[in-house]
Structures are given as structure tokens and as C-alpha cells.
Amino acid sequence: MTIHCPSCGSPHVISRNVGRKVGGATGAAAGAASGAAGALSGAKAGALVGAMVGPAGITIGGLSGAVFGGLLGGTTFGVAGAKLGHELDQKMLDNYACCACDCTFRPHAE
């Protein structure tokens, strides 16, 4: 389905995806903050598992648990924010821009 500009009728239309970009960035930032708490609990869990190996296992387990907890939090929130932003793009925002006349618009639901 080709989308045409409602103002000039041009088929040269791009999707802006502003909501997805902002939602993903905001979600990743929130995930990084949440990931700090996840990193602490991940470090504790990693140190507990690593304690079975010995002192070196506590250090390695704690460090890997902290890294994994931080990455998991940032990724999870980033994906959730991008999905929410995508829904906003499709239902609320003028997600499309005409390259010919710079008109921004939201296509009508069929």
C-alpha cells in the first residue's frame, strides 16, 4: 500500500517514527536507572553462585551478575519504550512527512 500526501498527492512520503525514537531513548534511560538496582541484585546473586568456587568466583560472579543485571534492565525498558512509541506513532502522532511539500500527516484508518 503506497501512502500519498493528502496535501499535494505526492507518493514521496517517509515515516518519521518520532514516538518510537523518543520512547526507545527514554525507555533505555529509565532502564539504565532501573538497571543500577538490577545490577546490585545481580551482583549479589552472582557472588552467591560464585561463592561455591571460592574467592575468585565471588569476584567474577559478582561482576558478571552486575553487568548482566544492568544490560537486562536497559534492554528491557528500551524495547518496551520503543513499542509504546510505535503505538503512539501509529495512533496519535503525525508520523508521515511528504518530501515534496513538507506536510506531516497521519493516514486515515481503513
Task: Kindly report, residue by residue over 48-60, the tens digit of the pLDDT.
Answer: 877 787 788 778 8
Position 109 scores a pLDDT of 56
Query: The pTM is what?
Result: 0.68
Residue 33, C-alpha cell as written in the block? 536507572
How is the chain split into domains, by residue range?
Answer: 13-52+65-105
Beta strands in the chain (DSSP E): 13-15, 96-98, 104-105
- The alpha carbons of the chain give a radius of gyration, in whole angstroms, of 22
Round to whole Å and give the CA distance between 23 and 79. 9
Distance CA 106, CA 103 (A): 10
Regarding predicted confidence, which is higher, 31 or 17? 17
The answer to whether residue 17 scores a pLDDT higher than 90 is yes
Burial (CB count within 10 angstroms: exposed 0-12, middle 13-18, buried 19+), residue 27: buried
